[in-house]
Structure 1
Amino acid sequence: MIKNQIGIISCSSIITQVRNSICFNKEYKLYPLVPSCMFSISSDLIRHVFDQACLENDVALLVYGNCHPDLQNILRQYSKRIIKLEGDSCWEMLLGKEIAQDYLAKGYWLLKNALCTTWRKEVFISYGANSEHGNLIRDCGTKKILACRFEPDKPKEQDVSSFSQAFGVPYEIRECDTSGFQHLVMNGVKTAGERISKGGFIQTKRDHSRCKTPIGTINEAKFKLNTLSNKLVFVSPKIFQLLGFLPGEFKRLYTSNPDGIFYFDEDTFRQVSTKRFSYFAQCLSRGIQLPFNIEYRVRHENGSVLWVRECFSPTYNNDGTLNPCFIGKLENITAWKETEDELKRLYQKETQLRVELEEEIKRRVEFTRALVHELKTPLTPILLASDTLSNMNGDNQWRPLVNSINHGAHDLNSRIDELLDLARGEVGILRVTSKPFQLNDAVGDAVEFYVAKAKLFNQTIACHLDSKLPKTMGDRKRITQVISNLLDNAIKYSGDNSQITISTRVEMNDILFSIVDNGPGISENRIADIFNPYKCSSNSHLSGLGLGLALSRMIVEKHLGRIWVTSKIGTGSAFLFTLPLA
């Protein structure tokens, strides 16, 4: 029969009082947790202690104040397994809420034995002892240091007196009764036992025991280290598979590194040893810590260099004292490190390529701008001159020639603008200003501009626009540019005496635009890349670099829309695009 267990997670500063309250009963396992009112501890450490207590017991009792900002949030995640004693602070638990609050209201700084002995140095540093500036105890208006004795002659008067001198505040020592605290703890234990009796915890524990992970793999070897003697008392035989050393050999190499056989170099040995002993000291003085992890290089018995990760965690006896034997493991992470190094190398290479690409893009944009400038400089006087000649009342003999020059100049100017916009779109700097607008208005702008051109070929433009069309969100000028490109192509390819039909309507959650012509149609193999730039028409008598449709797709997609074409040879083509509703 599995015996129900209750774990007690206690603030390290009052763990002695907790032991006394349960009369050192080994049935309850204690888990010391460093006080967050004194030290900066992570939420991960609290979860680590909670996990350990929950895995090893049916339910856990938390004897800890609300001094950590994330404690309540973490507790909610363990609400079915951990019961917290009432009290916002350890002092409210030890003395009772009313007495503790009364002392604080009087301006007393409450002191207990652990602060005077175990954490004396940390307290002096944290609170600015022997300092004219930064003495938190004096500067906060503390009237008195009140040392509470829960055990005979603890804290000692000389220790309390040294606090008084260091902080410049008078002191008083009072003998305190812990019967109320003992009653509080035992009531908590009783509540925990009642919760166990309701069921749920025993089954959870049994399920966990059936799911234990098999010990060791070919890439790791476990060991047990006695921190008092600094010797390995057990090494898994898998150490031979991992590092090529027999267990007896590895015990000697682990803590002494004779002739530099195991550790990569002397600096590695010193650094690893120092960090180990520092971790041991923290576990001894502060309670449970997060597992120890360190990565370093070692030498295999055959001389090859490996990367290993060393991990171990402290174990505590049921009374909360530290067990000197730590369980740990060594894991071969050479492949992982090599992958990490390769990823770093690839990242650096990718970064360099990205810089080079950005420079190339910058040069391309600058070249395109320079090209546009060079093309527009001689074109500007041609446009001005042709516009002037077109508006002059003169001999009609030259009118067709003047109009041809004027139309050609404006067409070339449009192509130059498209070239610049396309370059901007390809490098992601094409600007789109998003505002609500009526798509029918944009259609009207484009038709008004091109109706004269259509009449030159005896073409008619029929508009079937939804009069109740809602507004769309986007850049009206850019969408007008798209419609103009599509309408210009329809006029260009439809031929004489043809009809071009434009329509708008709502379809699902989008606004749909379509333009249908009576042109020669587009073959299926051309449709696949018709929206790609620099794909010229197969009709030799029609000009263009294929920039208009590529630019139209960029603009529509920037509006989160979609553009496509349907066509049949001999009957014409339909270009459609969607825009989202405003």
Structure 2
Amino acid sequence: MPTRTRFEATARRGYAILTLLLAIGMAFSIRRFSSVADAQIQWLSAQERNITLVERLRWTTELIVSHGRGYLVSGNRELLDEAEDAKARFRENIRALRAQPLSPTALQLLADLEAEAARFFLLQRELLVARERTDDAGLIARRFDAELRPLRRELYRSIERLVEHKEFAIEAAYAGERAERAELVLRLYGLLVLLASAGLGIAWYFTRRLGNLYHQVREAREAARRAVTARDELMGIVAHDLRNPLSAITLKAARLRRAAGSEQVRQQAESIENVAKRMEQLIRTMLDAATLEASKFSVTPAPCAVDDLLRETLELFGPLAESKRVRLEQSVSAPGLVIFAERGRVLQVLSNLVGNALKFTPQGGRVILSVDRDSEAARFGVVDSGPGIPREDLTSIFERFWKVEASGERGTGLGLYIAKGIVDAHGGRIWAESEVGRGTRFYVTLPLADPAAHRAPAAEEAPALSAEGDPRAGG
């Protein structure tokens, strides 16, 4: 038991460690993936903001150019106001971009964009002022195409370079994230391999321990089997060899009793004879148990009258019931039944059941030996008014050496075990029903010798008879 307890404690610790490692690995994986995902989301949000601001720069630049050219051609003041609003939004977008976390390259490109925008806005302002001083729109348009258009192209190129830089940065970031995820997956696979190796190591350790324990248990079981076999063989040999000396003792005690010259000698001889008979009965019980255990028990069935079996049983136990002041009665609902069984063995079963019932039934109680027909079998019943058997013990009462000691009574614990073996050998069935405080009911079914001869309806239940045959008499 201590070895088993230590092994169970070690197994629990090992599995607890393995479970802890798995939990730590899963927690690390979840946390790591979560942090990587959060970082990617934050970075992508920032890049999306930057791209949006750059696109707004592109759009405001288009508005500045188109509205400024429209004013130069048409002189419409509303177009000039819209161009000024676009310039204000352009500067706001520049300031917003500078507030974002930018790389040195992005900052340099943004500075170049601001320089190109400043040159463009300066020349555009000069043309707008010249437009206010002259009505020659053609001259202003020619100056726009000759002087301002090249600056516009440079401004567009600066914006495109900034956009390309952002796109390249996004692609590089994606590549970096893919590499980081690949490295993380590799680490997780490594952790998985480590945990699997640890699990295999623990499993191998416990498999080895279990294998050793299995071999120990198997060897112990084999040793126990050999010991039980040797014990049964020895018990059978001893019981068999004791029968002849006991028979001689019984015979000589009987002769001494018959030839006794005094009452004291006769009583002593009778006592020796009773003890020898008791020992002979115990020896027969031991031999039957050994034969049953070796699966060599057999019976020689023959037609046997049930009424005779009941009468003989009542005659045998009538004096005992009377001495214990217990009423021993019989109840026959199907008289004249004939079973196919070995008479002596059936008497042995009934004697065991009735003897147990009398043993546990208190004074003033009642034991009923009954028989009725159950399909193709005769069903015997032994019902007592004793203390009953707990429900949890009903499945164990037919096992070897199971017993409940009555006050002042002792037994071998083999009676019900042998009774079940005898009934099974006849192809019958034996079982018990009981409630604590309300007595016990044992039932035995044995096959009829000629079922066709007993197919007539059963006669009405006969009056209960005592051992002396008087329906009103008690045991």
The structure that has the greater radius of gyration is 2
What TM-score, normalized to structure 2? 0.42
* Greater share of helix: 2
